[in-house]
């Protein structure tokens, strides 16, 4: 190791998107390596609206590996972080920074400690796969810092060991996590089906439930499903393989009707196997916190209302306008076939879920706010003036649920991980290697 001893800090900052599965991952065949029981397919969300930014730094002045998430120091001692750090270090290459006069040989990386600072541009509590974006970003940034030569797909297999769905965040657009066959997990990795420009008509609207609920542990849930659900095996072996091929075809052909049908069906089947678990998941995730059960009931209610709104509208049209998908987190994700459908969807969502009177519209619709303008909604008065959707005709509209949704995010399919060169986005002090 050369350079001005003990003084230099070498840093890299990266940004990685989150992703939402349209063919769901639920159930591991190997808990340690995080190998799934079936393939899954996801859409990467635009990092402009939802992403993790991570700065990783190495310096001979660091005493130990440390990490800060959203400004708060967290432990790196868990297996998942350790697995990722070990795998990346094992692949490190020679690095030379001429500007700083730093030269690090491959073998030196084992001795260098790391500082890591990570920041989500969306609430962690929203359960929007923050751990997926976070672990993907960690692996991507470290690989850049340490000059790892492995391609994106191989990096995805490392990120997978940090958080299963993280592997899908190594690519933009439409991504498949191939379950693989090998016992060592080497072939369980992500591949890109199509980039984000392939199908840029799609608009994604996310409803986040007003709930302070933390992301529930999917590890425990998955284990219980694998152990007790008699339907999961059939889903993994018979249903998903066929459905994955159909979904790939739908994406390739930008066939929204098939995409919508498969997305909704797979979301519902995922919840079905959770219900087929003993005791059923989502009712019982955390029995010691009864307050959660109440939130879960609210969430379930939001899900069923959104299913009802979407199904009614789709049926009244010649061809599906919107697809829905729900993960374990307190949010609902909807795909609109195009901008026009997104505008009409947003009108419906605002009609059924108006903001609580205190909220202003600007903090109620996040992300791509231009859809709000297209929808003819400029202020709270316009929300109140929205007519009932024509498809409900003379029927009593669903009870309006003011305040049930915390906010909406309007977004679109987005790009994969990138390095950031803008110094304002660097999260660690370049001199001390501590959070700014």
Q: Which of 80, 271, 412, 415 binds a copy of itself (CB under 8 A)?
A: 271
Query: Across-strand partners of 36?
Result: 28
- Per CB under 8 A, 307 contacts a copy of itself: yes
- Per CB under 8 A, 297 contacts a copy of itself: yes
Shortest approach of a copy of itself to residue 37 CB, angstroms? 15
Q: Which helix (H) or strand (E) holds 372?
A: helix 370-374
- Per CB under 8 A, 91 contacts a copy of itself: no
Strands 51-59 and 405-411: unpaired
Q: How far apart are CA 225 and CA 235, in angstroms?
A: 12
> Of 129, 183, 186, 184, which is closest to residue 153 (Cα–Cα)?
186
Shortest approach of a copy of itself to residue 282 CB, angstroms? 8
Under 8 Å between Cβ of 424 and 13: no
Q: Which of 1, 284, 380, 418 binds a copy of itself (CB under 8 A)?
A: 284
201 vs 286, beta carbon nearer a copy of itself: 286
288 vs 421, beta carbon nearer a copy of itself: 288
How many H helices and E strands in the chain?
Answer: 11, 19
Q: How far apart are CA 393 and CA 166, in angstroms?
A: 44
- Per CB under 8 A, 380 contacts a copy of itself: no
Q: Which of 76, 125, 257, 275 binds a copy of itself (CB under 8 A)?
A: 275
DSSP code of residue 239? I
Query: Across-strand partners of 101?
Result: none
Q: In what order do the strands lie in the sheet with 113-120?
A: 72-74, 66-69, 113-120, 51-59, 10-17, 418-419
Peptide bond connecting 279 to the previous residue in cis, omega within 30 degrees of 0:
yes
- Per CB under 8 A, 319 contacts a copy of itself: no
> Of 120, 12, 13, which is closest to residue 425 (Cα–Cα)?
13
- Per CB under 8 A, 296 contacts a copy of itself: yes
- Per CB under 8 A, 312 contacts a copy of itself: yes
Shortest approach of a copy of itself to residue 24 CB, angstroms? 12
133 vs 281, beta carbon nearer a copy of itself: 281
- Per CB under 8 A, 116 contacts a copy of itself: no
Q: How far apart are CA 220 and CA 44, in angstroms?
A: 25
305 vs 348, beta carbon nearer a copy of itself: 305
Shortest approach of a copy of itself to residue 294 CB, angstroms? 6
- Per CB under 8 A, 245 contacts a copy of itself: no
Which residues are within 8 A (CB) of 199 and not within 5 positions of it... i.e. 6 or more apart? 173, 174, 251, 254, 413
Sign of the torsion angle spanned by Cα atoms 364, 370, 375, 376: positive
* Residue 407, phi then psi, degrees to nearest 5: -165, 165
Shortest approach of a copy of itself to residue 287 CB, angstroms? 6
Under 8 Å between Cβ of 285 and 227: no
Q: Which of 49, 66, 305, 337 binds a copy of itself (CB under 8 A)?
A: 305
* Interaction pattern, residues 387-416, with a copy of itself; x per rule: CB under 8 A: -----x--xxxxx-----------------
Q: Which of 74, 76, 257, 272 binds a copy of itself (CB under 8 A)?
A: 272
Under 8 Å between Cβ of 51 and 121: yes
* Interaction pattern, residues 202-241, with a copy of itself; x per rule: CB under 8 A: --------------------------x-xx--xx--xx--
Q: Which residues bind a copy of itself (CB under 8 A)?
A: 228, 230-231, 234-235, 238-239, 261, 264-265, 268-269, 271-273, 275-280, 283-284, 287-291, 293-294, 296-297, 300-301, 304-305, 307-308, 311-312, 315, 392, 395-399
């Amino acid at each position: 190791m050369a350079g001005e001893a003990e003084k230099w800090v070498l840093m890299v900052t990266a940004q990685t998107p989150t992703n939402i599965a349209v063919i769901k991952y639920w159930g591991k065949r190997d808990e340690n390596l995080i190998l799934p029981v079936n393939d899954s397919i996801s859409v990467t969300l635009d990092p402009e609206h939802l992403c993790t930014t991570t700065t990783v730094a190495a310096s001979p002045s660091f005493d130990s590996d440390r990490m800060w998430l959203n400004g708060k120091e967290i432990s790196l001692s868990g297996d998942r972080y350790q697995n990722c750090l070990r795998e990346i270090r094992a692949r490190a290459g020679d690095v030379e920074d001429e500007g700083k006069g730093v030269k690090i040989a491959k073998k030196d990386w084992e001795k260098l400690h790391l500082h890591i600072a990570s920041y989500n541009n969306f609430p962690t509590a929203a359960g929007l796969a923050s751990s997926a974006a976070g672990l993907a970003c960690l692996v991507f940034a470290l690989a850049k810092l340490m000059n790892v030569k492995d391609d994106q797909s191989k990096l995805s297999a490392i990120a997978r060991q940090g958080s299963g769905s993280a592997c899908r965040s190594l690519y933009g657009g439409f991504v498949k996590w191939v379950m693989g066959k090998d016992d060592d997990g080497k072939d369980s990795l992500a591949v890109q089906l199509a980039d984000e420009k392939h199908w840029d008509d799609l608009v994604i609207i996310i409803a986040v439930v007003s709930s302070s609920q933390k992301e529930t542990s999917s590890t425990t849930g998955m284990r219980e499903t694998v152990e007790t659900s008699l339907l999961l095996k059939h889903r993994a072996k018979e249903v998903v393989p066929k459905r994955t091929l159909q979904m790939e075809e739908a994406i390739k052909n930008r066939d929204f009707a098939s995409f919508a049908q498969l997305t909704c069906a797979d979301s519902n089947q995922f919840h079905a196997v959770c219900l087929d678990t003993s005791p059923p998941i989502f009712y019982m995730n955390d029995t010691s916190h009864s307050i959660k059960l109440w939130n879960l009931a609210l969430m379930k209610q939001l899900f069923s209302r959104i299913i009802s709104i979407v199904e009614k509208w789709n049926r009244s049209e010649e061809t599906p306008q919107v697809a829905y998908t729900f993960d374990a987190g307190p949010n609902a994700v909807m795909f609109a076939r195009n901008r026009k459908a997104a505008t009409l969807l947003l009108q419906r969502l605002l009609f059924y879920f108006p903001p609580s009177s205190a909220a202003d519209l600007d903090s109620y619709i996040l992300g791509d706010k231009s859809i709000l303008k297209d929808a003819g909604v400029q202020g709270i008065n316009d929300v109140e003036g929205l007519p009932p959707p024509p498809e409900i005709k003379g029927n009593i509209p669903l009870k309006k649920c003011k305040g049930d949704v915390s906010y909406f995010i309007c977004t679109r399919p987005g790009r994969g991980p990138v390095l950031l060169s803008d110094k304002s986005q660097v999260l660690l002090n370049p001199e001390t290697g501590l959070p700014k």
